[in-house]
Amino acid sequence: MHAVGSAEELRAILLTRGCERYTGEPVSHLEHALQCADFAERAGAADSLVVAALLHDIGHLLTCYCGTPSADGIDDQHEVLGAACLARLFESGVREPVRLHVAAKRYLAADPAYRRALTEDSLRSLQLQGGVMSAEERAAFEREVHAEAALRLRRWDDAAKRPGRVTPSLDDFWSRAERLALRSSPGRNDHNQPSAKATHTAQSSL
Ligand code: FE
């Protein structure tokens, strides 16, 4: 996994790899990130959730994988990679919705109408990510402190795939990311660290 030590490095990754696109998705990674953040902002979300929306798929861009993982039958665990990366820079209000946004899809997928509306890639990855949650898994998800934020993020995520949609630029959002990153310190006492799964590396998963 690409090690990220600053908000500026995250920005550079979005600008350099953000033009990539997955098979079955109609927008690039950067277009998707900007649309997702725009929906969050328009919904009046807190800055932490707007930044989470902007960075929710950063895990996809931290690996060396070229192509579309789900098309090759691979779950790249991007939510785990992304949350682990963001844990160095942001508090739980940013990184936990990122960590939970795949679980939120599995939660929402209990609704057949929700599943029918998913894109080709999202539907394909759903199966690799564990499929629809069981009743026990849903109950456990609902106990997560950031479950509600993750569900909101997921709805914006699913909608943020419209080709040609006009959004603010990365710079328009970035001051918030920098401000929140500066607020976090490496030695802080935070009880919502990502799970041990986050030690997983790109090489082992891909
Ligand atoms: Fe996404």
Tens-level pLDDT at each residue, the chain (206 residues): 666 779 999 999 999 999 988 777 889 999 999 999 999 999 999 999 999 999 999 999 998 777 788 888 888 899 999 999 999 899 999 999 999 999 999 999 999 999 999 988 899 999 999 999 999 999 999 999 999 999 999 999 999 999 999 999 999 999 999 999 976 555 444 444 444 333 333 322 22
Q: How far, in Å, is the centroid of ligand 1 from the Cα of 79?
A: 10
The answer to whether the beta carbons of residues 14 and 33 sit under 8 Å apart is yes
Q: How far, in Å, is the centroid of ligand 1 from the Cα of 201?
A: 20
Q: How far, in Å, is the centroid of ligand 1 from the Cα of 155?
A: 10
Q: How far, in Å, is the centroid of ligand 1 from the Cα of 158?
A: 7
- Any idea what the Cα angle at residue 31 is, between residues 26 and 32, rounded to 5°? 70
* Measured distance CA(99)–CA(58) in Å, rounded: 11
Q: How far, in Å, is the centroid of ligand 1 from the Cα of 128?
A: 15
